[in-house]
């Protein structure tokens, strides 16, 4: 029987980790993810989990500790945000290249500077090429559900990659909402045990992990990573489907909302999808054919799914909660355009940089975007594609 609760996103993640009972957590506090290791260390102190909690001196050390412990054969978790993730940067790549399925709860927050503690996606978008699988939640329920799936995805022998479970700072991490939880034993059974084939503490067969890789070998190992990421598409789909069977909540790489006959649509990630759905419902009641594609899994990038979902649209706006400062586009727009390049009847595409540093995103914001799309459909003129919304003076 499902358990009805009301929890913040951080509480949901900490509780899920308690149910999973990982071997090691190495973590350093940073707003807004601090509560995750804080709540979890309470579980450790209260003897509710068997986890070794390592209170490290920095996020670089947190990820380094996770790498060492995961290579040793332990299931490791950590949590961080913003500059904490940035400080992990070097080690994120090491974790992925060593094929260590570490799980990281990322509570998305703007990167400094200017210093700001509120939500946008610049932290995890910056880490998008580090070789981690990235799954983004719209709300606390999805954050919990994604965390339940993380290890089954990452630890799959066809994948063996670290997984980042992302949720929006404060909006999701601190807002308390209704949530449906699974029983401890159901989660434990579903997640299973981590049984790597080779690991440092395998007494009968000592190994060396993460050795120096010279020119004749490095590129083959990077190609192995590329293949693993490609193979993860099907593994993620399968894990989400199996999760649906135990929870009643089924997910896919993307979520299509009212896309059946949509003429205009937005592509969006995270909590703002909820706001956009409300705006779309209002516009639909006025007879406007508006829809939404929410990217749940950003790594691997679900290019085929997105191209298919947008194929019937006339104009599409891709929303980026992070800027690339290439004077052209945010990261999601660039990859969405790449997904649609060369496709027949591809829609006209524009990009909006929005919600940086916690800038409020209302249904009004979303309607403004759709008004711009309607104008493109009416006039046939796309105009400037690199746009910002919510900035005073524009």
Partner 1 sequence: MVLKYTPAAEINEQSKWYEMSPGGMICEPGTSRLTKTGEWRTTTPVFIADKCKHCLLCVPVCPDGAIRVKDGKRGEFDLEYCKGCGICYKVCPFDAIEFGGDK
Under the rule (CB under 8 A), what is the footprint of partner 1?
97-100, 157-158, 160, 197-198, 205-211, 213, 216-217, 220-221, 223-224, 227, 231
Q: Cβ of residue 64: shortest distance to partner 1, in angstroms?
A: 16
Nearest in space to 156 (alpha carbons), one of 88, 239, 81: 239
Name which of 217 and 341 has its Cβ closer to partner 1.
217
Q: Cβ of residue 137: shortest distance to partner 1, in angstroms?
A: 28
Name which of 178 and 224 has its Cβ closer to partner 1.
224
What's the CA gap between 25 and 169, in Å, rounded? 21
Phi then psi for residue 198, to 5 deg, are: -125, 140
DSSP letters spanning 190-203:
HH-----SS-TT-T
Q: Cβ of residue 232: shortest distance to partner 1, in angstroms?
A: 13
Q: Cβ of residue 197: shortest distance to partner 1, in angstroms?
A: 6
What's the CA gap between 126 and 115, in Å, rounded? 16
Q: Cβ of residue 220: shortest distance to partner 1, in angstroms?
A: 4
Contact between 79 and 105 under an 8 Å Cβ cutoff? The reply is yes
Name which of 44 and 72 has its Cβ closer to partner 1.
72
Name which of 68 and 126 has its Cβ closer to partner 1.
68
Side by side, which strands form the sheet with 315-320? 254-257, 290-295, 264-268, 315-320, 348-353, 386-388
- Measured CA to CA in angstroms, residue 107 lies from 6, 64, 371 at distances of 19, 19, 31
Instruction: Report the half-sphere exposure of 241 (CA within 13 A, side-chain side).
Output: 6
Q: Cβ of residue 229: shortest distance to partner 1, in angstroms?
A: 13
Q: Cβ of residue 195: shortest distance to partner 1, in angstroms?
A: 14
Q: Token pair for residue 365?
A: 């914001």
Name which of 205 and 285 has its Cβ closer to partner 1.
205
CB atoms within 10 A of CB 285: 8
Name which of 175 and 200 has its Cβ closer to partner 1.
200
Name which of 215 and 285 has its Cβ closer to partner 1.
215
CB atoms within 10 A of CB 29: 17
DSSP letters spanning 61-94:
HHHHHHHHHHHHT--EEEEE-HHHHHHHHHHHHH
Residues 154/157/160/164 CA torsion (nearest 10 deg): -10
H or E element in which residue 215 lies: helix 215-247
Q: Cβ of residue 236: shortest distance to partner 1, in angstroms?
A: 16
Q: Token pair for residue 30?
A: 């940073």
Peptide bond into 69 cis (omega under 30): no
Name which of 220 and 261 has its Cβ closer to partner 1.
220
Q: Cβ of residue 162: shortest distance to partner 1, in angstroms?
A: 12
Name which of 156 and 324 has its Cβ closer to partner 1.
156
Name which of 83 and 94 has its Cβ closer to partner 1.
94
Q: Cβ of residue 223: shortest distance to partner 1, in angstroms?
A: 5
Q: Token pair for residue 154?
A: 């990452």
How would you classify residue 165: left for phi > 0, otherwise alpha for psi between -120 and 50, otherwise beta? beta
């Amino acid at each position: 029987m499902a358990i009805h609760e009301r929890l913040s996103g951080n509480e949901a993640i900490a509780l899920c980790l308690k149910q999973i009972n990982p071997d090691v957590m190495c973590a350093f506090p940073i707003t807004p993810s601090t509560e995750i290791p804080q709540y979890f260390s309470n579980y450790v102190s209260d003897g509710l989990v068997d986890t070794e909690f390592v209170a490290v001196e920095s996020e670089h050390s947190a990820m380094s500790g996770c790498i060492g412990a995961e290579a040793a054969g332990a299931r490791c978790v950590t949590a961080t945000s913003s500059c904490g993730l940035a400080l992990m940067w070097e080690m994120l790549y090491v974790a992925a290249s060593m094929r260590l399925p570490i799980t990281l709860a990322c509570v998305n927050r703007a990167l400094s500077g200017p210093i700001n503690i509120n939500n946008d996606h610049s932290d995890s978008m910056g880490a998008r090429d580090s070789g981690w699988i990235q799954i983004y939640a719209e709300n606390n329920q999805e954050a919990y559900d994604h965390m339940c799936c993380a290890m089954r995805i990452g630890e799959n022998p066809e994948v063996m990659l670290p997984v980042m479970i992302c949720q929006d700072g404060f909006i999701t991490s601190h807002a308390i909402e209704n949530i449906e939880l699974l029983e401890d034993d159901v989660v434990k059974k579903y997640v299973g045990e981590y049984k790597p084939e080779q690991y440092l503490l395998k007494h009968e067969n000592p190994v060396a992990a993460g050795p120096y890789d010279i020119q004749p070998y490095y590129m083959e190992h990077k190609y192995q990573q590329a293949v693993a990421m490609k193979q993860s598409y099907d593994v993620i789909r399968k894990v989400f489907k199996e999760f649906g069977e135990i929870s009643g909540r089924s997910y896919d790489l993307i979520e299509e909302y009212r896309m059946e006959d949509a003429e205009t649509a937005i592509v969006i990630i995270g909590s703002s999808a909820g706001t956009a759905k409300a705006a779309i419902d209002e516009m639909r009641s006025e007879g406007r054919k508006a829809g939404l594609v929410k990217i749940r899994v950003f790594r691997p990038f679900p290019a085929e799914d997105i191209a298919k979902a947008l194929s019937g649209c006339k104009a599409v706006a891709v929303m980026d909660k992070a800027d690339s400062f290439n004077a052209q586009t945010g990261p999601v727009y660039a990859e969405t355009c790449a997904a649609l390049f060369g496709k027949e009847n591809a829609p006209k595409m524009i990009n909006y940089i929005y919600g940086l540093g916690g800038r409020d995103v209302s249904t009004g914001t979303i309607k403004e975007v759709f008004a711009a799309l309607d104008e493109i459909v009416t006039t046939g003129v796309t105009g400037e594609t690199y746009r910002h919304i919510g900035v005073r003076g524009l």
